Chains A and B, each alone.
Chain A
Amino acid sequence: MSFNYRAIGAIFLFELSRSRRTLLQRLFSPVISTALYIIVFGAAVGSHIGDISGVQYGAYIVPGLVMLILLTQSVDHASFAIYFPRFTGTIYEILSAPVSYIELVIGYVGFAACKAVVLGLLILATAALFVPLRIAHPVWMLAFLALTAIAFSLLGFIIGLWADGFEKLQAIPTLVITPLTFLGGTFYSTSLLPPAWETVTRFNPIFYLISGLRWSFFEVADVGVGVSLSMTLLFLVLCLAVVWWMFKTGYRLKA
């Protein structure tokens, strides 16, 4: 059968109508929390912290905050989008329809990634109201946003397939992703850490994402942009491989 692009459209529309129901809460809560971060850390605390690598502290944390929202929203939306049909049993309609796994992944992961990028840009616009921002490499910035959103939407999709209860669905974002984002240099340059901890940070994949995104803004980064990009792509490929394996074996789908 030819490529079922209408099915992808149907999944997009369905997810869009699902998101619309919680639109206000989905849009405003990240915007408000970002504004709070910027006011508290950027303005209040930041006024006592000098510039980092020549960048004002309030502006320095913006890429990290965008990344924080991007990661949590990607994972949240994608994991729930595939978990909920499994929970209610409507997954069988999707599995019995002439929709290939590739189309399924493009539909669900694509929508979650798009939504996360839109939210990320919204956060950026909010931040621009509070701190002076300059974006040195807008194309690279969009590329980092898109790649990260896709990779973490894939991760969310994997979590949504793996979870067999709402607790597990919530556990990974709260217990893994948020801490890793905070420890990955959202609010600081890892070069400020003691050398031992700086080495530990190198094992945190999110560190490379934040560093890469920060470079696209200020041309200031903890590691080279090439390393950041390679790590982002590596993570993306890893997630794709896991999704491919899950569909190939029917893991938690055809039990």
Chain B
Amino acid sequence: MWNAVSFSRGLFGLRANPDYLSQVLKDLSLWDKRNNRIVTLSGGMKRRLMIAKALAHEPSILFLDEPTAGVDVELRKDMWEILRGLRAKGVTIILTTHYIEEAENLADRVCVINRGEILLVEEKTELMSKLGKKQMRLHLHDKLSEIPGTLSNYPLTLDADGRELVFTYDSQSEHAGIKALLDDLSASGVAFTDLSTNKSSLEEIFVDLVRR
């Protein structure tokens, strides 16, 4: 394995640097296996070795094609840490993935490709606030069978057998109408015991985009 990593570095015309290569192997938890032959490594180790080979020549741009596909959860989290570390050092990482969670976790910018066409390229936070929806859930004190007519102007749905009222709003608009809704609720005599909000994940946005 050590030979393979040194070989990759040498091919790019770089001076031998055992300290750097040791650090790369240690970061990728491959140090113990440095003298093993590649055929003796497990699938996950081989994958990490590929990353080690890619890092051996200190690249400033790193292309990773589904690096965590078929990798166990723990290892995936480790790899994310490594990628964050590289990003912090200024390495530009272009990563393709089918796990939207991964993109949400790591990416600064997201590009969505569907059937070979780029649907969008956007800063992740911007994308999520622009295309994401927010929902507010009100846990009602008394069960409702239908939404009162006085609230018909709001995009409301009933959930959990009439025990929850769900308000979907656009997180972009400054005036989402939460206050007006809460006022109208108390005016209509609808009382609630609990309140929670959540916003859609990148995965939901992705599915939405691709289905369009």
Contacts and interface: CB of A to CB of B under 8 A. Distances in A.
B11 A94 contact: yes
A166 interface: no
Interface centre among B6, B8, B11 (most CB of A within 10 A): B11
Interface stretch (B12-20, B25-33, B127-135, B189-197): B12-20
Interface stretch (A5-13, A206-214, A227-235): A5-13
A97 B3 contact: no
Interface in A68-102: 93-94, 97-99
Main secondary structure of the interface of B (DSSP, over half): helix
A14 interface: yes
Main secondary structure of the interface of A (DSSP, over half): helix
Contacts of A13: 3, 6-7, 10
Interface residues of A, number: 16
Contacts of A97: 8, 11-12
B53 A14 contact: no
Contacts of B11: 4, 7, 10-11, 93-94, 97-99
Given A6-B15, A93-B53, A17 B10 contact: no
B63 to A, nearest CB: 10
Contact of A98 (B3, B9, B13, B15): B13
A17 B13 contact: no
A150 to B, nearest CB: 22
Interface of B: 3, 6-15, 53
30 contacts: A1-B13, A4-B13, A5-B13, A6-B13, A6-B15, A7-B10, A7-B11, A7-B12, A7-B13, A9-B10, A10-B6, A10-B7, A10-B11, A11-B10, A11-B11, A13-B3, A13-B10, A14-B3, A14-B6, A14-B10, A17-B3, A93-B8, A93-B11, A93-B53, A94-B11, A97-B8, A97-B11, A97-B12, A98-B13, A99-B11
Given A7-B12, A14-B7, A94-B11, 6 more contacts: A4-B11, A5-B13, A7-B11, A10-B6, A11-B11, A17-B3
